[in-house]
């Protein structure tokens, strides 16, 4: 196949492109080498970008550039659409920009495909577990997704979601059938793209696969972007011995999935025999408290940084969510292969080869709190 990967110079994209090339596919990449991800003078840590003989056609362009996208789509069989703005907190005040890059550009991509590039047969959308908002819980044998937490509750240190009458809830893995209740602008754009994809599939017979990634981590993740990626932010500070701001009470959890598993899931999404529209989770299926992952990271980096549980919080953050992988197994044949300790070790080994960067995460949190969207103790 000839495959267009938007955002292919990014973290997940770089792993995917490598694996597509190894499998003998032709690859075109469109990426604007966004300075927030790649720095002012972009030097992405991707060998094929520097090598003219890599077999990748690289087009440095914005996904909102119609002419560039028409050029990139020529002769393409499938598109993996990864390019996006990815900062949950940042999306809460850069609202129109997030809609423009994440949603309007996806609408333009679909329009280009169905009006001018009907040779494209399949589109993979990089969706996100954030579309659920909070993860799923059980209350009296019923599955429910609680509404996003009010800032007043977070301010009062009441972090755990509760039932409609204040009942305690039992956390369970979140299946695709759970109600989608986005808690951030970023998540709203991802859910809108899924809905658009399902209309494109039913109207035009295009195969659309939306993969709801959990928290992806691993080698080559941007260490520069202060708006997303807690393991990058923590590791950069830990290498400088700086204290680590653990939000809420540290018991909030995430499903950390290694990027090699995610790249494999995308390849399965490109190859599997699927119905016209498919939505599926991609994760490890394991919830890990943030305080625990920070402690593991600190040990593996040999850092002396203090883990400070501050009670800080951000609008748009969720408490817990981890993937139910039943459907991913059934439709994609996907199961994660890299456990957290093994993946973290590989991540830390790579981090130690990278330059230490000026930390900008405190500034990013300040932007949010100045907009009244969180609390910062620093
Ligand atoms: N990493 C995660 O934990 C995670 C979780 C859920 C969903 N996702 C989704 O997966 C996709 C890839 O994420 P990632 O972690 O590799 O992010 P990333 O930031 O490393 O990569 C995104 C790439 O897109 C490029 N890009 C950004 N805006 C662009 C634009 N307007 N035009 C062209 N290129 C542009 C950037 O330069 C970057 O190379 C995103 O859509 C993201 O929302 C990621």
pLDDT band at 65 (very low <50, low <70, confident <90, very high): very high
Same domain, 108 and 197: yes
Point out the least confidently predicted range of 124-128, 194-198, 229-233, 261-265.
229-233
pLDDT band at 128 (very low <50, low <70, confident <90, very high): very high
Same domain, 47 and 158: no
192 domain-assigned: yes
pLDDT band at 253 (very low <50, low <70, confident <90, very high): very high
- What's the domain range around 277? 2-136+173-218+256-285+321-336
Same domain, 18 and 157: no
Same domain, 167 and 81: no
186 is catalytic: yes
CATH number at residue 40: 3.40.50.720
- pLDDT tens readout for residues 322-370: 999 999 999 999 999 999 999 999 999 999 999 888 887 777 777 778 8
Q: How many domains does the chain have?
A: 2
Coil, helix or strand at residue 85: coil
Eight-class DSSP state of 307: E
Same domain, 8 and 154: no
Same domain, 197 and 330: yes
Q: What are phi and psi of 71, to 5 degrees?
A: -65, -45
Q: What percent of the chain has pLDDT over 90?
A: 81
Contact present, 99 and 132 (Cβ < 8 Å): no
| Distances, alpha carbon 202 to alpha carbons 81, 117, 156, 162, 197, in Å | 19, 17, 46, 38, 9
- pLDDT tens readout for residues 186-241: 999 999 999 999 999 999 999 999 999 999 999 999 888 776 789 999 999 999 99
Q: Which residue's CA is the nearest one to ligand 1's atom 39?
A: 10
Same domain, 188 and 151: no
Nearest to residue 224, comparing CAs of 7, 43, 98, 36?
36
Same domain, 98 and 199: yes
Res 184 pLDDT > 80: yes
262 domain-assigned: yes
Out of 98, 132, 137, 186, the active site residue is: 186
Mutate to test the pocket of ligand 1, among 18, 34, 190 (most ligand atoms within 8 A of CB): 34
30 domain-assigned: yes
Q: How far is the CA of 156 from the centre of ligand 1 (A)?
A: 34
pTM: 0.95
Same domain, 280 and 210: yes
């Amino acid at each position: 196949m000839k495959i267009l990967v938007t955002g292919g110079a990014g973290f997940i994209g770089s792993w995917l492109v490598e694996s597509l090339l190894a499998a003998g596919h032709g690859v075109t990449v469109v990426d604007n080498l966004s300075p927030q991800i790649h720095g002012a003078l972009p030097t992405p840590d991707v060998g094929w970008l520097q090598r003219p003989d890599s077999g990748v056609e690289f087009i440095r362009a914005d996904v909102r550039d119609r002419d560039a996208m028409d050029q990139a789509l020529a002769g393409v069989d499938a598109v993996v659409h990864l390019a996006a703005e990815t900062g949950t907190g940042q999306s809460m005040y850069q609202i129109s920009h997030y809609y423009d890059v994440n949603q309007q550009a996806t609408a333009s991509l679909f329009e280009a495909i169905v009006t001018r590039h009907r040779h494209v047969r399949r589109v993979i959308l990089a969706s996100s577990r954030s579309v659920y908002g909070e993860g799923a819980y059980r209350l009296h044998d019923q599955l429910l997704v609680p509404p996003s937490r009010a800032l007043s509750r977070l301010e009062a240190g009441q972090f755990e979601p509760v039932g409609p009458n204040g009942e305690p809830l039992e956390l369970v893995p979140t299946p695709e059938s759970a109600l989608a209740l986005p808690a951030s602008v970023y998540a709203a754009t991802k859910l809108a793209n899924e809905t658009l994809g399902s209309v494109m599939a039913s109207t035009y017979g295009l195969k659309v696969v939306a993969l709801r990634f959990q928290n992806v981590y691993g080698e080559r993740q941007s260490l520069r972007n202060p708006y997303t990626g807690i393991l990058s932010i923590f590791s950069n500070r830990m290498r400088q011995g700086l204290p680590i701001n653990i939000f809420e009470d540290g018991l909030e959890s995430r499903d950390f999935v290694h990027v090699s598993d995610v790249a494999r899931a995308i390849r399965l999404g490109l190859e599997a025999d699927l119905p016209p529209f498919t939505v599926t989770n991609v994760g490890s299926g394991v919830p890990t408290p943030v305080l625990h992952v920070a402690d593991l990271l600190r040990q593996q980096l040999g850092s002396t940084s203090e883990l400070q549980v501050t009670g800080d919080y951000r609008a748009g953050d969720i408490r817990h969510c981890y993937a139910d992988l039943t459907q991913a197994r059934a439709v994609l044949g996907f199961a994660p292969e890299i456990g957290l300790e093994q993946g973290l070790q590989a991540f830390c080994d790579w981090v130690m080869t990278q330059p230490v960067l000026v930390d900008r995460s405190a500034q990013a949190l300040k932007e949010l709190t100045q907009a009244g969207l969180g609390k910062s103790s620093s």
